[in-house]
Chain A
Amino acid sequence: MDNNMNTGNSASKKENKFVNALKTGWKWLRRMFLGASKELSEEDIFTVEKLESPGRMAVKAFFRRKLAVGALCVLIALFLFVFIGPFFFPIDLNYIDPLQANLAPNMSMRSVPSGLKNNVRTISGVSNFTVGVSSDSTLYIWGATKLAGTNIDLKDFDPAITEGNVYTASAGSDFVIAVTNDGRMVGWGNNSRGQFGRNELLNTDDPVILMPEKFMNEKIDPEKIDFLLCGYQCVAFIYDGELYMWGNTKACINMKEIMEHENEDGTVGYKNVSKVSLSNYYAVLLMDDGTIVAPGGFMDFMTAESSSGKKVEKILPYANSASLDVVDIAATNNSYGFLLSNGEVLICGDTNYGVAAFPTIAEGEKVISIASGTRHYVAKTDKNTVYAWGHNDVGQSNVKGISAGDIFPGAKQTYVVNEEGKLIKSVGTRGYVFGTDNLGRDTFSRIVHGGKMTMTIGAVAVIVSTIIAIIVGCVSGYFGGWVDMLLMRITEIFSAIPFLPFAMMLSYVIATKDISETMRIFIIMMILGLLSWTGLAHMIRAQVLAEREKEFVIAAQAMGIKEKRIAFRHILPNVISTILVSVTLDFAGCLLTESSLSYLGFGVQQPRPTWGNMLNGANNSIVIKFYWWQWLFPAIFLAIATISINIIGDTLRDVFDPKSSQEK
């Protein structure tokens, strides 16, 4: 019995202890975020009031203010965001993609409409939107369909397009071309470069080849359509074996050669073409006889990388040799891929982004078709397995090993469809949360990386200026006399320097020197630090002057403590509150100065982002009006950072100053 009682008691005691610990923990947690509550436990009432140090009182007073605590939380979150974020959102500084430029925030670039999901006939896309035709002949479009800088929304189909009457469709960079079941070819979107139809406001800078009359007015026979592909402001259309191309001749440099090609029998244009691939610059033709033709001679001296591991000196003779037929072609923005009849894949052109890093094809399989997005290739083998390689920044190549009926690469997406036309997997970018800038770079990841840069520069500059200010302030305040005189004159010289113009000039001068970008950034930090210490030095000096006369200093001197030690060990801790307040406010100031400098183009240079130079493009009304996401988001982040820092600084000043707390 007794034993039982004892064990029960000790158990409840343990429990009590645990509950108490939890309660205390909760209390402190609540105090930290919501301020102290008014309730006092009995214990608190009967205990003698402890003497609290001023520092501790200040901390308590700080945490009692909700605004300041909120600002602190925001600031910590922002710090974590910009210093940990870069690990999750890596950035390629040299990456640009004109096809993704100036996109508004949009996360629907991979959202295949439900009507299309189970019966895909074809899907195509080269830029920020994708077009699909279902097997019941209905057209679907998804993605960023509002064209940047215009009022065109590609969701507004041409009136000739109705449900169930679309034979095929292809998406270009800023337009769509579709052929209806009753044989009409229609296009919509931007046609300022002759992409379709006739436009009286044709842009005269770029010579165009207009769409042939017969496709505009006459009915065409859908059965005779071999191939339709839209690229960057140009169209390739194989009708009855003959190739027609139209659009911007600058977007497809060899278009003129193709259309003016003379056959041996005197006719003009290429015949017996089975497929065309368009990069951002050229068109490549696959002929019915299994040879490739590259009009304009751009490919004559290109070397190629083969999936068998060897390097091919000249691509055209190799691919066109009699023993091997070319069975499929594809082209990314800047490279061309060829599939030979023995399953060998050749890639020529610009092999950046790993487009020539072929995956190992499983034993006993042979590639039978290839296709491409803007920077990646996908291939299907005779066992219906999918392989993908190339750029994988948004996961567009993560389809390896899936068994598929067909693959449709979009620009930065890949759609895998099974034999019945059912969409089984889609990978790649969903879009851009904060849109893209004028070079097609993701604003969000640039904000993350830019924040890191801005914060680092601000922090280092503040540390530099604070260290100088502490040394100058303490020494001149404590020692006085000619040291004080000299240091204060130096301080005045520095404070007379007009900040922004001087920093601009220094940045201009170091720009003429041949130094690395990292060194430049380091120098900018130093410039900011060296030009902004004077105010704090004055303040510290004044405080030290006041502290110097107090008894504890006399006591310390009487004890024979060294002067240096008194200045930095005994007096400095008493001015720490001033320093802390000033450091906080100066940090905000340095963020602003850095971004102002970068905004003017004298700070950190592109392509390295900072919050300031991301706003650099925003000084014309077009950007301000149409591309609001390019300046609004960096501005919001900068504003949040500086406002919360200033609120914290202001609150610190209030809580350290006993006079101001009495007032309230």
Chain B
Amino acid sequence: MGKYIVKRILYIILVFFILSFLLFLIYNMLPVDKAAETAKEEVKASKGKLDYEVRYEYWQKKYGLNGTTVERYLRWIGLKPYDRIDENDNRSYFGRLNGLLEGNFGDSNYYGKPVSEVIKEPMKNTIFINIFATVLALGITIPLGIFCAVKRGSKRDVAVQVGTIVGYSLPTFIIAILFIWLFAVLLGWFPVNGMSTAGSGEWSAWRQFWDKMYYLALPLIVMTFCSLGGMTRYVRSSMIEALSMDCIRTARAKGLKEKVVIYSHAFRNALIPIITLVIGWFLGIFSGSLMIENIFALNGIGRTYFQALTNHDNEVVLALQMFYIFVSLAGNLITDIVYGFVDPRIRVNK
């Protein structure tokens, strides 16, 4: 098992580097030369006292933009030290490793702050929203899926099946618009968008929390609703498979109560694929919540990413893209490991 895990981790690290290199190449297709821009501004401000070429070289070295693409990539990821301007210059950012792996995500040219600061608050919100939505979704889909599997073929099951087809056929934004129209505009139960009431900063923490929950209620409902379709169908099918196992027949023949058969025997067997799905899905909704955050104007990383793209804030785009890839790879790794634990055949095969 240990060997398997180590193998997977090494492999994932390799994929991480390949993907980040790919991303870096795409990023380099952008017609932006940060060093040239800064140098030009500087030369302009000095009214011709400074030499453009010298300053350009200086800023290139400072930003780590000199050398070949591979060199630049290695500096950006944090595996190659930045060039020194001259041997006597010992300022902190020269001659050192200062890349992604050292925690340097670059500076946002739109906000004028380090990227890590820009994405700190949105990250908290996104994680909060996603965990909440996952708990809600699982709380509904698992019982519903089990119910449908047990009552397979009944009218209620068919109704749920049709409902879930509708649920996963509609894109998130249409469901969101419909829900806003219904619950926020027509019925007026929830606010249309935003994260808190204006001037709520002076309220007590408890009241602030409820205010936030009031604003997050509709996005969470939409997110939960969107995940109902796929998840319910998945739980249902794996539960049906589990119910057709021989051990279930034996359990019934023993005279066990139907409840015990379903929840203790069948559901345990159905749980294996569900767990792996849940992990992968939880990490997948980080990019899924991008849409929700934009529609409801929630201050999450999805919205930050979208705004960075529209504001041409390239460093933030790159950092968040790396975050998405990191999350996705972490999801793959955890899924692999969990699979390895629950299904010994997979370990042997590889």
Q: Which residues of A contact B (CB under 8 A)?
A: 489, 492-493, 495-502, 504-506, 508-509, 512-513, 588, 592, 595-596, 599-602, 615, 618-621, 624-625, 628, 631, 635, 638-639, 642-643, 645-647, 650, 663-664
Contacts and interface: CB of A to CB of B under 8 A. Distances in A.
Contact of B184 (A592, A596, A621, A635): A621
Contact of B181 (A600, A624, A646, A664): A624
A642 B1 CA distance: 43
Interface string B289-326: 01100110000000001100110000001001100110
The 3 closest A-B pairs by CB, nearest first: A498-B324, A642-B169, A643-B169
Contacts of A664: 153
B125 interface: no
Interface in B141-179: 152-153, 165-166, 168-174, 177-178
Nearest to A596: B171
Contact of B288 (A500, A625, A639): A500
Given A500-B287, A501-B305, 9 more contacts: A492-B332, A496-B328, A498-B328, A499-B287, A512-B31, A596-B171, A618-B177, A621-B192, A663-B152
A650 B233 CA distance: 11
Contacts of B170: 638-639, 642-643
Nearest to B318: A505
B127 interface: no
Nearest to A601: B310
B325 A497 contact: yes
A619 B166 CA distance: 22
A506 B291 contact: no
A601 to B, nearest CB: 8
A588 B173 CA distance: 15
A191 B194 CA distance: 33
Most buried by A among B26, B168, B172, B174: B174
A501 B15 contact: no
A646 B320 CA distance: 33
Most buried by B among A501, A615, A624, A628: A501
A600 B332 CA distance: 27
Most buried by A among B19, B171, B288, B305: B171
B102 to A, nearest CB: 23
B26 A643 contact: no
B172 A506 contact: no
Interface string B83-111: 00000000000000000000000000000
A596 B177 contact: no
Contacts, number: 121
B180 interface: yes
B195 interface: no
B171 A595 contact: yes
Given A509-B26, A631-B177, A496 B291 contact: no
Contact of A504 (B171, B185, B309): B309
23 contacts: A496-B19, A496-B325, A496-B328, A498-B325, A498-B327, A501-B305, A502-B324, A504-B306, A505-B309, A505-B321, A509-B26, A512-B29, A592-B171, A595-B173, A599-B171, A615-B177, A619-B294, A619-B295, A639-B166, A650-B165, A663-B152, A663-B240, A663-B244
Contacts of A496: 15, 19, 325, 328-329, 332
A279 to B, nearest CB: 36
A493 B177 contact: no
A602 B180 CA distance: 23
Contact of A624 (B30, B185, B325): B185
Interface of B: 11, 15, 18-19, 26-27, 29-31, 152-153, 165-166, 168-174, 177-178, 180-181, 184-185, 192-193, 240, 244, 284, 286-288, 290-291, 294-295, 305-306, 309-310, 317, 320-321, 324-325, 327-329, 332
Given A624-B181, A628-B181, A500 B290 contact: yes
Contact of B169 (A497, A505, A588): A588
A638 B310 CA distance: 26
Given A505-B309, A509-B26, A650-B165, A615 B328 contact: no
A643 B18 contact: no
A500 B171 CA distance: 13
A646 B180 contact: no
A554 B11 CA distance: 35
Nearest to B26: A509
A663 B309 CA distance: 50
A498 B320 CA distance: 11
B185 A625 contact: yes
Contacts of B11: 489
A595 B174 CA distance: 10
Contacts of A638: 170-171, 174
A635 B165 contact: no
Nearest to A634: B174
B171 A493 contact: no
A31 to B, nearest CB: 23
A647 B165 contact: yes
A635 B174 contact: yes
A635 B170 CA distance: 9
B144 to A, nearest CB: 18
B216 to A, nearest CB: 17
Contacts of A618: 177
Given A493-B19, A496-B19, A615-B174, A624 B290 contact: no
Contacts of A596: 171-173, 291
A492 B15 contact: yes
A647 B178 CA distance: 22
A646 B177 contact: no
A175 B210 CA distance: 46
Contact of B178 (A635, A642, A646): A635
Given A596-B173, A600-B306, A615-B173, A646 B168 contact: yes
B77 to A, nearest CB: 17
B45 to A, nearest CB: 27
Contacts of A495: 332
A546 to B, nearest CB: 14
A600 B291 contact: yes
A487 to B, nearest CB: 14
Nearest to A618: B177
Contacts of B294: 600, 619
Contacts of B306: 504, 600
Nearest to B186: A625
B171 A501 contact: no
Contacts of B286: 498
A321 to B, nearest CB: 56
A475 B288 CA distance: 33
Given A506-B26, A639-B174, A501 B321 contact: yes
A502 B322 CA distance: 10
Contacts of A501: 287, 290, 305, 320-321, 324
A513 B26 CA distance: 12
A624 B240 CA distance: 41
B346 to A, nearest CB: 13
A489 B8 CA distance: 12
Given A624-B177, A664-B153, A509 B30 contact: yes
B169 A500 contact: no
A505 B26 contact: yes
Contacts of B284: 498
Nearest to B28: A509
A633 to B, nearest CB: 12
Contacts of B327: 498
Contact of B177 (A504, A505, A600, A635): A635
A118 to B, nearest CB: 44
A492 B336 CA distance: 12
A497 B322 CA distance: 10
Contacts of A499: 287
A29 B53 CA distance: 80
A625 B188 CA distance: 11
A515 to B, nearest CB: 12
Contacts of B177: 615, 618-619, 624, 631, 635
B61 to A, nearest CB: 26
